[in-house]
Chain A
């Protein structure tokens, strides 16, 4: 802990019951990185400085409010300037500010140092989920999408809310304890912001640009965050869940995923019947499309058009594949080409053509998708 941090911490012991401050209900979440700890200490230091100024300034004001009243027989003095006093109360704050700026500067320099990472992960914000790509270090090549796993029934109050309501995902990001992780942050559609409070990390995800930040978690555990930049309808429903695990557990996780993904590739490399595609397409729809176009396919017009009955969905394959693969500029419809495999695109488009009132009765094969992609 830095000097100011130690000062701050000891003052907290004096000024408040430790219990109140240790809980995250009234304060920052307990920090698990050195940066988060510095931020925590900076904040405590600021609170104490502000509290002292507050007591002095308002002590004077309320003294005056109670003593210098007409009803108590106070007679007004007539002074209206005093150069010495005015210089003093301009200069002293400057020194106080310098005292604040100094530790803050050190923390900034530390926060910005993203050199020499052990692992590099790219996080991509989508409306409304996060995608993770492990780009460098152990686990390189792993990529997955992380969706809110809280059931709709809980959100709509038809079921009791679970302990981690709105803070839980299907595929959490996993990192080893003690490793320096460099995060590359970007977005696919609008601006999002990747925020994990316990790490002291918040970085806007800007479409078309990549920004970086870093953390080194000192403690194993599950740490939860949320998207911090308004990104549309489901901004409140795209949390971040990070599991910090031991080095061996991490190696196991990496191996497990490798095996599973080989198995998946093998399983996908077969002839798909229409029913298989529709079944698989239903899963893809639930994970990627349902937030906007709704389970009923009715959408929320005009922002999110209905797919049930849509001429585009029922028409030429090329038109449907184009919008799924490439999205539509200026709307919330994302380009899913980068997120979904050929099989997944084939499955979900086949599902659309044969669900709700749509009964085209054909299928779109993975090969066809591959063909469209290469064109």
Chain B
């Protein structure tokens, strides 16, 4: 995507060139591009780990990796995908699109923006590099529960520092987004006229500012328990291992919404465009997003139903979790009402958005089933949960990211995405995704625990199916690379400013590709 912002064409860019241009850039489009490339690299790295896991699980017995390495791979797969792929990808979208959508010339704190990106590569090196230190990477699961995480070698300390660094990066990115949205909107762009993507990111940014410090605190307590003789989580010293879980999930549940709210925003931009009809229930979408965010602070212990909390606690967290289904339902209903009596076409972005609604909602249903505490006690820590969160994270967050990438690719590169290859990517992903993850529901119900390198014989056939699907899914993602490279190299149909027939919003009033500097003269929104 280097061709994205051809600065040669625009004489006001006089900064350094070559590598130094990227290292010193304060341009929101350059930084957005770097975030997107970084997250795709991390996505591939996490994907290779996932495929190694699936290779080991292809059949019962130990064949490919030893249990220690297997646990390291599941742990790093989770950390890399959550903190390295999904979160930075959404920040990349925010950088590119929020200024364009609200008519601002750049992000509010352009230098800090550079810094928040350039913190990420060192964090990634710490994480991936930890495989090569004595003892290997941390193998305590991405949740890093003590006392197991206390037993780990120095790979664990590297992961802790990586989490710290990525947390700082996220907080700085979030502050930037909040200030940009609140202060830099073009005249006439009132809050309730803002594109929904900006709304969902505004709320997400507040969630990030609220919970990333909590995570940083939790892992710092791990660090001092490991090296400085404290006993926060050590019962022998008067601490409590379960305390860590409370702190972690107080971060962890809002975190899942950090990964899905911007996805809701992207889909809410795309559906109206291809239905040629305004978004249904704009105001209720804003309220639903806010209620989801607020409720997400009072449901954390639904990840802990088996720790043995008081009955009243189980009941409270079950009821609160069920309640989140209401605003989530409102969103789905609004999208469908937007489609209803529209005049729809199904270009690649719309296919992904429709696929998102369909498959994400299946993850919502299993979430509801997990929320029923007695059922969760059976399926917690089984493959059922693995299926659930991949339906919401892969078919949810990731599919929405692809939808957004196809949708805004013309604005980034000046070329329309290749429809044939894009559709191939969609259908391969959708089919292989379901082959991989649908059977996992059955595995979990029938009693297969998660995070195991080996399993009993009755689980053999579904595991084989899931592994086949996983390799298909992994390979399908190379198709995406093809589409993007093609457009970035300037091949394919040239895009007009309003690349899609019925696209609405300020981002479509600037040329495609968007010039290096946009909205230096402030636009006015009527």
1-46 of chain A: CB within 8 A of chain B = 24-29, 35-36, 38-39, 42-43, 46
Q: How far, in whole Å, are A200 and B344 apart by their CA atoms in the complex?
A: 48
The answer to whether B339 touches A64 (Cβ under 8 A) is yes
Interface flags, B269-296, vs A, CB<8A=1, else 0: 0000001111111111000000000000
- CB of A181, distance to nearest CB on chain B (Å): 17
The answer to whether B278 touches A206 (Cβ under 8 A) is no
The answer to whether A80 touches B343 (Cβ under 8 A) is no
Residues of A within 8 A of B458 (CB): 24-25
Residues of B within 8 A of A233 (CB): 67-68, 71, 139
The answer to whether A90 touches B326 (Cβ under 8 A) is yes
Among A47, A80, A189, A230, residue most surrounded by chain B Cβ atoms (within 10 Å): A230
Q: How far, in whole Å, are A111 and B399 apart by their CA atoms in the complex?
A: 39
A200-B456 contact in complex given A209-B235, A230-B140, C-beta closer than 8 Å: no
183-221 of chain A: CB within 8 A of chain B = 185, 189-191, 193, 195, 197, 200-204, 206-209, 211-213
A94-B235 contact in complex given A46-B368, A101-B318, A189-B147, C-beta closer than 8 Å: no
Kindly count the residue-residue contacts between A and B in the assembled complex, taking CB atoms under 8 Å apart.
284
Q: How far, in whole Å, are A201 and B374 apart by their CA atoms in the complex?
A: 9
Does B455 belong to the interface (CB within 8 Å)? yes
Secondary structure of the A side of the interface? mixed
A330-B446 contact in complex given A100-B322, A236-B454, A302-B134, C-beta closer than 8 Å: no
- CB of A245, distance to nearest CB on chain B (Å): 22
The answer to whether A24 touches B378 (Cβ under 8 A) is no
The answer to whether B337 touches A85 (Cβ under 8 A) is yes
Residues of B within 8 A of A204 (CB): 306-308
Q: How far, in whole Å, are A236 and B326 apart by their CA atoms in the complex?
A: 38
Q: How far, in whole Å, are A63 and B190 apart by their CA atoms in the complex?
A: 36
Residues of B within 8 A of A286 (CB): none
137-161 of chain B: CB within 8 A of chain A = 139-141, 145, 147-148, 150-151, 153
222-246 of chain A: CB within 8 A of chain B = 225-237
Which of A160-168, A249-257, A261-269, A339-347 sits within the interface?
A160-168
Interface flags, B285-327, vs A, CB<8A=1, else 0: 0000000000000000000001110010011001100110110
The answer to whether A332 touches B151 (Cβ under 8 A) is yes
Residues of A within 8 A of B61 (CB): 154-157, 161
How many residues of chain B have a CB within 8 Å of chain A?
92
Does A259 belong to the interface (CB within 8 Å)? no
Residues of B within 8 A of A116 (CB): none
Does A105 belong to the interface (CB within 8 Å)? yes
Q: How far, in whole Å, are A324 and B307 apart by their CA atoms in the complex?
A: 30
7-34 of chain B: CB within 8 A of chain A = none
Does A356 belong to the interface (CB within 8 Å)? no
A108-B71 contact in complex given A39-B374, A226-B449, A302-B134, C-beta closer than 8 Å: no
A28-B372 contact in complex given A65-B344, A332-B151, C-beta closer than 8 Å: no
The answer to whether B378 touches A89 (Cβ under 8 A) is no
Residues of A within 8 A of B339 (CB): 61, 64-65, 68
The answer to whether B457 touches A163 (Cβ under 8 A) is yes
Residues of B within 8 A of A115 (CB): none
Does B524 belong to the interface (CB within 8 Å)? no
Does B482 belong to the interface (CB within 8 Å)? no
Cβ-defined partner of B281 (8 Å) among A80, A195, A200: A80
Does A271 belong to the interface (CB within 8 Å)? no
Does B253 belong to the interface (CB within 8 Å)? no
Residues of B within 8 A of A167 (CB): 456
Q: Which 8 A-B residue pairings sit nearest by Cβ, starting from the closest?
A: A208-B235, A211-B308, A236-B452, A76-B343, A77-B341, A80-B278, A107-B374, A76-B276
23 sampled A-B residue pairs with Cβ under 8 A: A39-B374, A54-B362, A81-B280, A86-B284, A89-B333, A90-B329, A90-B330, A101-B318, A108-B315, A111-B377, A112-B311, A112-B314, A157-B61, A200-B374, A202-B377, A206-B307, A209-B235, A211-B308, A225-B447, A227-B449, A228-B382, A230-B148, A236-B67
Beyond the given A108-B373, A154-B61, could you list 5 further A-B residue pairs with CB under 8 A, ordered by the A residue number? A60-B340, A61-B354, A166-B456, A190-B148, A191-B147
